[in-house]
Structure 1
C-alpha cells in the first residue's frame, strides 16, 4: 500500500509535539502538584528530573533498538508506553507513584523520539523535501514547548493538575491507531545485534545516584552517610560505564567521538545550556505562582514572550551561523543567557512584570537558542557522515542529563536559601524570592561556564548544505 510521506510526517510530528509539550506543560502545574500530593520542596524537582534523566539516559538505546528491531515497531511501543504512563501519572495518589510514572514516561520518550526521526529520514530523500520535513518537525517541536505553558495553565485552572498528563492519552490512542495505516514498516538493520543494555543501565544508574545524592544534601547534610554513599555509588557506576563502553563491540557511546574537539565542546556547552534552562524554568514557574500569587494560566501567559523570542531566534540563528560560524553565535547566545538570568535575579515578589521579569525572559529566550543551534550543528558537522546520528544522539543526551544534574544543584542551593530566610523571620513570599534569586545566579554561573567552553571550541564555518545535513541528523 502506498502511503503519503506527508501523512507519515503528520503522525511523527504530532508524536514529537506531545513529547516536547510534556516538558513545559508540567512546569506550570508544579505548585498544585506539590500542594495536592504533599511533595517536599527538594522532592518536587524529581517530577522533572525523573523524566529527563530516563529520557537522556536511554535515548541512545532507543536509537539502537529502532535500528535493530525496526523503527515503526519501536515507535509504536514507545508511543504506547508514553500514553500508559501519562494516564498513570494523572491518576497518581502519592509522590512516589507520580515520580515512577514520570520516569517510565521518559523511557517511552527515549524509544519514541529516535525511532520517529529514523522513520522521517528514510521517508524523505536527501534534499529539499527532507529539509521541509525537518523544518515542520522542528517547528512543531518548538511550538509544543511554547504552547505547553499556556495549555498547562488552562488545564490546571479549569480542571486540575492531573489533566496535564491525562490530555496525552486520547492523542496517543489516536496516533497508535493510525500508525500502521500511515507509517510504513522499515526493515531492521542487519549486523551486530548488541543493544548494550549493561551500558545503558550503568550510565543511567550512575546519574540517578549522583542526582539523588545532591538532592538529599540539603535535608541530610553533605557529610551524611546517605549523601556520601549515593555520590560514591554514582562515581563507581559511571566509571564502570566508561569501562564497559571502552570494551563493548557496539557501544552506546563510542568514546572515540568524544576525542573530537568540536563534538566534546558542543556537548559540554549543551549540557550547561540544559542545566540553565531547566533550572530557570522550574524556579520561575514556582516563583510566579507561589511568590507573586499568580494563577497557573497567568504564569503560562507570562512565559509566552520567552517562547516567542526563542522561536524568532531559531529562525535567525541558522543564517548567522552560515555567515559568522558556530563559535561567535554560540558565544553571543551564552552572553545573552547570563544577562537574562542576572536581570531575572533582580525581580521581586511584588514588582512589575513588565520591568522586572519581561526583559530577562526575552533575553534568555534568545540566548538559549543562540547556544543550542550552533552547538547542535558543531556536534555533527565535523564527524564522519556515518556517525552523525550517533553524535547528535550523544549531545542530545548530554543536554538532558546536564539539565537534570544542574536542576538538582540549583534546587538544593535555592531551597537552602529559602529555608534560611524563613528561619531569619522573612515573609514566605520574600523567602521564596530570595531562594529564586540564588538559584538563578547559580544558573548564570552555568551559562558563564558555557562562555568559557565556547572559547575552547573550534570556529567552524559550515556551508548551507552542511547545516541542512546537520539538521537531518539532529
Structure 2
C-alpha cells in the first residue's frame, strides 16, 4: 500500500475485513440517507425536487464513474485508487454533514458518489487478487456478499436512529467517520499490490462520453418514474443518452486503449453474468424501496420500526452469502445461482399476497427471510461469474462493470416497477380505500419482480456453458490467466 505496508507478512483475513468494510461503507451511504430526507429538507431548506437529488446525486455519480474507476484501478494501482477513493468519500461526507446550503449538500453528495466509484471496483479487484481461485475465494466472496446485503438494511436502521437521536447531519458524519476508519485500516493492513496490473493509459474521451451517457440514461429512467415515460425530461435524457453512448461505442472500436475492451467479453460468463446482475439489481432496489413504503404508508410503522424490520432480511442475506460457496461446491455454480434466483423469486411471489390490514409477522417476516436468503446466494454467485475468465490486468474493470450493471439495473427497475405500482394504485383508488389501493400497487411490483427473476433464471444454462468453456480451456492451457468460479 505504501512504505509502511512493505516488508510485512500479508494477512488476507485482516485485509478482507478492511476491503469488506469499504464495500459496506459504499452500500450504507446509498440507503442511510433515505429515512433522513424529510429532516434534511426541513433543516437545510430543500425543495421536494432538491430532496430527491440528495439521493440521486450520489447514485448518478457512482453509477456513471464505476467503469473509469475500475479502469483507473487497473492502470494506476488498486491500493492507490482505493486510498484516493476513500479519502474523497470521507471528506465529501463530512462536508455534506456541515452543509448549510442546498447546492453545497448536493455537490458534496456528488463527490461522495465519485469516491465510491473508485472504492468499489478497486476493493473487489483486491479481494480477487488476495484470494486465488478455490474455496478461499468462495469464502471471501461470501463475506463480500454478506456486507453488501447488510449495508442496505443497516443504512435504513442507522439512518432512523441517528436522525431521531442526534439529527440529520450525523447521517453524513457517520459515513465520514466509517470511511476514515476503513482508510486507516487500508493503510495498515491492505498489502502493496506491486506494479499496476495493466499497461496503456486511461481513455479520457471514452471516460467522459461513457460517464455522461450513463448519467443521462439513469436520469431518464429516474425522470420517467417520477414524471412519466413521455415527459420532456425523460425523452430528452433518453435522446442524449442514445447519442452519447453511440459516440462511446464508436470511439471504443477505434481507440488503441479502450475503456471497455472487447476482450473482456471474449470468453467466459462475463456478458451473461452482467445481464443477470442487471436483472437482479432491478429487483434488489425495488425490494428495499417498496418494503419500507408498505410498512409506513399502509401498516403505519414509524421510520425506526421500519428500519428495525429490515434486520431479519439482512440476517437472511448474510446467511445466504455464507451458504453460497458451499452450495456451489456441492451443486456447481450455475445450479447454485439458479437456486438463489428461484428462492428470491419465491419470496417476492409470497410478498405479492400482502394485505392492507396485515402485520409484519404475518405478511412480511416469512417472505423477507426467503428473499434475503436467495438474494445472498445469487449475489455471491453472480459476482464470482462476472470475474471468471477475466485477465488479471482487467480485474478492476470487471469489478466496475458488474457494479455498473447492478446500478443501471436498479435505476431501470425502480422506474418500471414504480410505474406499474402507480398504475395499479390509480386503478384501485377509484373504488377502494387508499391503504388497499397502495397495497395493490405494491403487490403488483412484487409480482413483476418475481417474473423478472424467472426470466433471469432462464439465462443460467447459457452462463453455465460459458463458465465450463473457460474452465476447460484453462485446464488444457488454451487460454491465458483465468479465474475459476468460487467453489469450483
TM-score, normalising length: structure 1: 0.83
Q: Of residues 411, 415, 430 in structure 2, which corresponds to 1:408?
A: 415
Ranges in structure 2 where 5+ consecutive residues have no aligned partner: 476-481
Asked if the contact 2:141–2:384 (Cα under 8 Å) also holds between the matched residues in 1, the reply is no
Asked if the contact 2:73–2:396 (Cα under 8 Å) also holds between the matched residues in 1, the reply is no
- 1:26-65 maps to which residues of 2 (within 5 A)? 26-29=33-36, 40=48, 47-65=54-72
Measured after TM superposition, the shift of residue 133 of structure 1 is 6.5
Task: Tell me the residue number matched to 2:112.
Answer: 105
Tell me how many residue pairs correspond in the alignment. 469
Closer, same or farther: CA 43–402 of 1 in aligned 2, 3 Å: farther
Measured after TM superposition, the shift of residue 31 of structure 1 is 6.0
Distance in 2, Cα, partners of 1:249 & 1:420: 54
Q: Of residues 442, 450, 471 in structure 2, which corresponds to 1:436?
A: 442
Distance in 1, Cα, partners of 2:52 & 2:160: 19
Asked if the contact 1:28–1:299 (Cα under 8 Å) also holds between the matched residues in 2, the reply is no
Asked if the contact 2:134–2:486 (Cα under 8 Å) also holds between the matched residues in 1, the reply is no
Task: Tell me the residue number matched to 2:321.
Answer: 314
Q: Of residues 240, 247, 252 in structure 1, which corresponds to 2:259?
A: 252
Closer, same or farther: CA 368–12 of 1 in aligned 2, 3 Å: closer
Question: 1:26-55 CA deviation, whole Å, 9 max, x = no partner?
Answer: 344456557776664x88665555434432
Distance in 2, Cα, partners of 1:213 & 1:243: 22
Distance in 2, Cα, partners of 1:176 & 1:56: 22
Distance in 2, Cα, partners of 1:91 & 1:416: 40
Question: 1:107-164 CA deviation, whole Å, 9 max, x = no partner?
Answer: 1011123334455666678889877766666655555445333323322332334422
Distance in 2, Cα, partners of 1:417 & 1:110: 36
Closer, same or farther: CA 184–262 of 1 in aligned 2, 3 Å: closer
Question: 1:2-36 CA deviation, whole Å, 9 max, x = no partner?
Answer: 44644655544433332232234334445655777
Ranges in structure 1 where 5+ consecutive residues have no aligned partner: none
The worse-fitting range, judged by mean Cα deviation, of 99-108 and 170-179 is 170-179
Closer, same or farther: CA 296–108 of 1 in aligned 2, 3 Å: same
Closer, same or farther: CA 383–63 of 1 in aligned 2, 3 Å: closer
TM-score, normalising length: structure 2: 0.81
The worse-fitting range, judged by mean Cα deviation, of 31-40 and 307-316 is 31-40
Distance in 1, Cα, partners of 2:400 & 2:202: 15
Task: Tell me the residue number matched to 1:293.
Answer: 300
Asked if the contact 2:280–2:453 (Cα under 8 Å) also holds between the matched residues in 1, the reply is yes
Task: Tell me the residue number matched to 1:270.
Answer: 277
Q: Of residues 222, 230, 241 in structure 1, which corresponds to 2:248?
A: 241
- 1:347-386 maps to which residues of 2 (within 5 A)? 347-384=354-391
Question: 1:423-469 CA deviation, whole Å, 9 max, x = no partner?
Answer: x3755544433332333333333323212323443345699x99986
Asked if the contact 1:344–1:360 (Cα under 8 Å) also holds between the matched residues in 2, the reply is yes
Distance in 1, Cα, partners of 2:345 & 2:415: 19
Distance in 2, Cα, partners of 1:156 & 1:31: 10
1:336 aligns with 2:349: no
Asked if the contact 1:218–1:416 (Cα under 8 Å) also holds between the matched residues in 2, the reply is no
Q: Residue 458 of structure 1 aligns to a residue in which SS?
A: helix
Q: Of residues 448, 452, 465 in structure 1, which corresponds to 2:454?
A: 448
Asked if the contact 2:424–2:444 (Cα under 8 Å) also holds between the matched residues in 1, the reply is yes
Measured after TM superposition, the shift of residue 251 of structure 1 is 1.9
Task: Tell me the residue number matched to 2:478.
Answer: none
The worse-fitting range, judged by mean Cα deviation, of 158-167 and 133-142 is 133-142
Asked if the contact 1:45–1:411 (Cα under 8 Å) also holds between the matched residues in 2, the reply is no
The worse-fitting range, judged by mean Cα deviation, of 341-350 and 170-179 is 170-179
